[in-house]
Amino acid sequence: MFSHLSHLECSRTGERHDADVVQGTSPVGAPLLARYDLERVAATVDKAVLATREASLWKYHEVLPVRDPRFVTTLGEGWTPIVGLPAYGRAVGLPRLAMKDEGLIPTGTFKARGAAVGVSRAAELGVRGVGMPTNGNAGSAWATYAARAGLPSLIVMPEGAPEITRTECAAAGAELYLVDGLIGDAGAIVHEAIGRRPGWQEVSTLKEPYRLEGKKTMGYELAEQLGWRLPDVILYPTGGGVGLIGIHKALLEMREMGWITGPLPRWVAVQATGCAPIVRAYGAGARESEPFPDAQTVAFGITVPKALGDFLVLDAIRETDGCAVEVSDEDLLAEQRRLAASDGAFICPEGAACLAAARDLRESGWIREDEHVLVINTGTGIKYPDTITVDAPLLPVGGRLP
């Protein structure tokens, strides 16, 4: 069977819901989690066979929601490399530091994973169009994959979102609007509009169940790539938290199927000082976050003042003896530049926040020198050209260097 999807489950109440009709959140407004017949998967899929499959996220199709392969909408996404960061790692006392580089994926960020799986499943369920608020990257990914699936898309983003993402939406033929506000303001506009469009689906973060499934493939990949031995610590730049929740979900599924054993990696949720609701909630011992006032950071992808799945992030952190830390914009921009110069990796500011956090946690002793530390770099630096100031003197033709 291509997919072993069995049902959806409310992340708050555990109540079961039908997975074969279009669904949003559960009746109590909580994210729905896709559940699979993992016993059947474990009995029928030898994890060794995965190595013989194509190098894309669809190799994990048994634990993805698309039932009919004809609906798979793909641009070859997934199976991004895990690369060591030896020079930077040595300099900060983390010789076993590595990153999973999601910059090398269609649209340049890991948002492509959620879009590929979400759009595919929406098409399979007969959705006629998709609409979402976005901080930019999710919008460009969904517009791109919707175009590939032949579906119209409605994207609303803050005026301040990275300009390149507007260009991508426009190129993909999306219906695009900018709003003079934050992602929550964009969300209210989309919600109202979708209510007036029969057959359309609102695909905001965690308001439909399948984006999470796409993002969870990072967890399957990293386990397989590391020979089914997990890192000690994973750092994740946390906005809505979908990637963290997704990877954690994948780890639990793999443990249930016997594909991995032993303790799970300690989660570190990394946020920017200008928008750190999860860090505050973690510090306060709370299970839910408070809306963060006047949210602002250059790491635009993690500007989420109140995430619908905050409690799932906080649960994962606590289950694994992890932590949540914040990093200033100044600091993360400095580390972005430092890494590009030391290891040739030009990563996004969100990913750079994780490096600054790893460095701080090594300094405080929370991470030990011998530990295997994995940073999820969620996107390429090329999507954020303005984060680097360039000092390049202009020479006259025939000029001489000093």
Positions in the binding site for ligand PLP (CB under 6 A): 109, 111, 137-138, 205, 237-243, 301-302, 348, 350, 378-379
Q: How far is the CB of 306 from ligand PLP (least distance, A)?
A: 13
Q: Which of 46, 211, 232, 201 is nearest to 131 (CA)?
A: 201
Measured from the CB atom, the residue of 156 and 348 that comes closer to ligand PLP is 348
Q: How far is the CB of 198 from ligand PLP (least distance, A)?
A: 29
Measured from the CB atom, the residue of 42 and 206 that comes closer to ligand PLP is 206
Q: How far is the CB of 183 from ligand PLP (least distance, A)?
A: 10
Q: How far is the CB of 304 from ligand PLP (least distance, A)?
A: 7
Measured from the CB atom, the residue of 131 and 309 that comes closer to ligand PLP is 309
- DSSP result, 249-274: HHHHHHHHTTSS-SPPPEEEEEEETT
Which strands sit side by side in the sheet containing 233-237, from one edge to the other? 82-84, 97-101, 373-377, 233-237, 266-272, 323-327
Q: CA 227 to CA 68: how far, in whole Å?
A: 30
Q: How far is the CB of 307 from ligand PLP (least distance, A)?
A: 7
- Count Cβ atoms below 10 Å from residue 21 Cβ, excluding itself: 9
Element (H, E) at 92: helix 86-92
Measured from the CB atom, the residue of 147 and 164 that comes closer to ligand PLP is 164
Measured from the CB atom, the residue of 222 and 257 that comes closer to ligand PLP is 222
In sign, the C-alpha dihedral spanning 171, 175, 180, 183 is: negative
- Count Cβ atoms below 10 Å from residue 180 Cβ, excluding itself: 8
- In the numeric block, the tokens 């595919």 are attached to 120
SS3 category, 39: helix
Per-position b or e across 92-103, b if 16+ CB within 10 A of its CB: bebebbbbbbbb
Q: How far is the CB of 395 from ligand PLP (least distance, A)?
A: 36
Which residue of this chain has its Cβ atom nearest to ligand PLP in the complex? 301
Measured from the CB atom, the residue of 201 and 378 that comes closer to ligand PLP is 378
Measured from the CB atom, the residue of 62 and 110 that comes closer to ligand PLP is 110
Q: How far is the CB of 370 from ligand PLP (least distance, A)?
A: 28
Measured from the CB atom, the residue of 133 and 379 that comes closer to ligand PLP is 379
Q: CA 232 to CA 370: how far, in whole Å?
A: 10
Q: How far is the CB of 49 from ligand PLP (least distance, A)?
A: 29
Q: CA 127 to CA 121: how far, in whole Å?
A: 9
Q: How far is the CB of 48 from ligand PLP (least distance, A)?
A: 30
Measured from the CB atom, the residue of 131 and 243 that comes closer to ligand PLP is 243
Per-position b or e across 313-336, b if 16+ CB within 10 A of its CB: bbbbbeebebbbbbbebebbbebb
